[in-house]
Amino acid sequence: MVIVILFAIVAIFLLPSFINKISSNNSEDYGRVRVDRYKDFNDKHLSYAKRLGIKPFNSEKAYRQEKDELVSDGKLKKISGGNNYVVNKLGHSHPYLVPKAAKLLDDIGKRFSKKLQEKGKGNYYFRVSSLLRTGESQKSLGRSNGNAASNSSHLYGTTFDIAYKNVIKKPLPWIKKEVADASVIKLLSEAIGELRGEGRCLVVTEYKEKCFHITVMN
């Protein structure tokens, strides 16, 4: 009984430091990250975006006024995280996509999850860094990001960015840690490439922003 009590006391003192250690937001490097180079040009992304997407919101005010109706009509779907992905805190975009793009995002997550299982990896999640933008937010982004074209497929709700600088590892359900695990990120790159090869999406590998810029095709 005394041993059990001593063990409990030691655990109380050590557990907080253990949790802080594995839940640290500092990213760890597990090898050199290499991803596939995809080069579907912006005009192709725009062609599909205009065909499959919504009418762009010119301003943030228009977005606030019209978004709920589009959601009610089934033309936009809120994205809050799902199969092996999380949504970053967004600064220049909003967590919405047209249903076909939302389905593509889920399918990337499922394909990624399958590859993780096949390779005996643990629980990893990729990060979605940008989704639906307004004309106003796109213009603002263009001042700081040279890759941000004035007419972007992000305006149509058909496009999202997946960061590849690192992924999220969850050693325990309530703990997450950013890690640059090269082998896991390569699996993510392969999953995206397979869906691209199946005619599901267009992809640009953006090296400056360290993300995959993805537009749904069908």
Question: Tell me: the pLDDT tens digits for 10-52?
Answer: 444 444 444 444 444 455 677 788 899 999 999 999 999 999 9
CB–CB of 131/152 below 8 Å? no
What's the distance, CA 211 to chain centroid? 9
- Average of per-residue pLDDT across 116-142: 91
Exposed / middle / buried, residue 37 (Cβ in 10 Å: 0-12, 13-18, 19+): exposed
Q: What six digits make up the tokens of 60? A: 């943030």
Domain ranges of the chain: 27-216
SS3 54: coil
Nearest to 94 by CA among 66, 61, 133: 133
**Residues 129 and 163: beta-carbon distance below 8 Å:** yes
Give the C-alpha separation, 26 to 5, whole Å.
Answer: 34
pLDDT band at residue 145 using 50, 70 and 90 as cut-offs: low
Q: Is the pLDDT of residue 59 over 70?
A: yes
Q: Dump the DSSP string for 119-183.
A: TT---EEEEEEE-B--HHHHHHHHTT-TT--SS-GGGGT-EEEEEEEEEEEEEETTEEEEEEEHH
